[in-house]
Amino acid sequence: MDKLSFLKQYRKSIEVVSNRDLLNIEKENMPAKWIEIFKETDKTRKKDKLIALWNSVCEKELSNTISYLKENLLEFELIVDNGQYAVLYSVKSENDEILYYEGGIPTNSISEMQQDWSNVPESIKEFYEKLHNGFYYLPSRAMGLVPVERITHFEDHEWGILEELDGPLGVNMATTYGYFENDMGGYVAIDLNNCIGDVATLWFTNDKPEYNVDFWDIVDEWIVIGLQDQS
């Protein structure tokens, strides 16, 4: 099965943006740095510019992810799905499969959590506003940082696990948001009332949470696990 046929199993309207169409993209729909990367015709320089952009935003926070992409990224393309642009990453897994990851175009429109966005740790805001509005395995839309519109506000969900937990909760559900999710009921969440130093909570739908973990350490580790093997 070719790549586009495979992707259309998950997104019916997905299309790859041609070089010709790239020239017509309005600047308000795409940051200048991304336009510059996609206009680069030399494949090596194009990848180098991409890695440089990742490094400029999250070299310290996602060092292992960046190293894996540097070694195993086969191709990246601009795609459009229902009028929304995104970047499609084709990454080689440890068993030589090709895995498709999606990175949304950076966003400054944070309407879904506008009132709380100013309280989000700076490093997380930088990722969403300067690199990608989420970066995740395309078929499951998980195993990565979810787009802003899919960030989980804990207060809006029923959590059966709450009935099994002893003692007071270590997070305030009204101010807690899940930015990363795997596809097995695990979240990396931030309580905006307690996030100095990127302190986070590993939250599970079927196990007790782990408090006071480092947000980026967990996210970096889990992204690489996904990139290595999604089977």
What was the pLDDT predicted at 196?
A: 87
| Euclidean distance between CA atoms 41 and 166, whole angstroms | 58
Residue 29 · residue 84 · CB < 8 Å: no
Q: Please give the Cα distance from 119 to 183 (Å, whole number).
A: 27
Residues in the chain: 231
pLDDT at position 114 is: 60
Q: Tell me, what's the pLDDT at 226?
A: 95
How would you classify residue 153: left for phi > 0, otherwise alpha for psi between -120 and 50, otherwise beta? beta
14-33: buried (b, 16+ CB within 10 Å) or exposed (e) per residue? beebeeeeeeebeeeebbeb
Amino acid 108: pLDDT: 65
Q: What is the pLDDT of residue 170?
A: 86
> In sequence order, what E strands does the chain have?
15-16, 73-81, 84-92, 98-104, 135-137, 142-145, 152-153, 176-181, 186-191, 199-204, 210-214
d(CA 82, CA 42): 29
Tens-level pLDDT at each residue, the chain (231 residues):
689 999 999 999 999 998 888 878 877 778 889 999 998 999 999 999 999 999 999 999 999 999 999 999 999 999 999 888 999 999 999 999 999 999 999 876 565 556 678 889 999 999 999 999 999 999 999 999 999 989 999 999 888 887 777 777 889 999 999 999 988 889 999 999 988 889 999 999 888 899 999 999 999 999 999 999 876
CB 87 within 8 A of CB 102: yes
What pLDDT is stored for residue 206 in this prediction? 84
